[in-house]
């Protein structure tokens, strides 16, 4: 049993569901090296770069960086409209890290 809270039941179902079939939501954390490259690329401070991304995927078994995975970045829950970066701040929600 998880002690995580979710913005709505539909998001929780897609977050906790089997990731190899059907649409699902993935919370991906950016690692320190990735953030450093982004900061340098965009001439920004690391603190000003988002440290997570929220994806809808068509099921997958490999890392989110696999180019064969169909994916879309989202910022709001498609069910309840919650801004995801405001709700899912904790690293406990991250299912993987991009280096």
pLDDT tens, position by position, 35-77? 677 667 667 665 545 688 898 988 777 788 888 888 899 999 9
In sequence order, what are the beta bridge partners of 96?
28
DSSP state for residue 97 in the 8-state scheme: E
How is residue 20 annotated by DSSP?
Answer: T
What average pLDDT does the chain have?
Answer: 82
Q: Which of 48, 33, 42, 51 is nearest to 88 (CA)?
A: 51
Q: What is the pLDDT of residue 1?
A: 39
Tell me what percent of the residues of the chain surpass a pLDDT of 70: 84
């Amino acid at each position: 049993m998880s002690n995580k809270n979710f913005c709505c039941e539909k998001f929780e179902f897609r977050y906790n569901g089997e990731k190899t079939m059907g649409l699902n939501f993935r919370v991906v954390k950016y690692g320190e090296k990735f953030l450093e490259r982004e900061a340098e690329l965009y001439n920004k401070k690391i603190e000003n770069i988002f440290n997570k991304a929220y994806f809808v995927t068509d099921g997958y078994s490999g890392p989110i960086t696999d180019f064969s995975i169909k994916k879309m970045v989202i910022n709001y829950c498609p069910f309840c409209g919650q801004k995801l970066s405001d709700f899912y701040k904790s690293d406990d929600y991250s299912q993987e890290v991009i280096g």
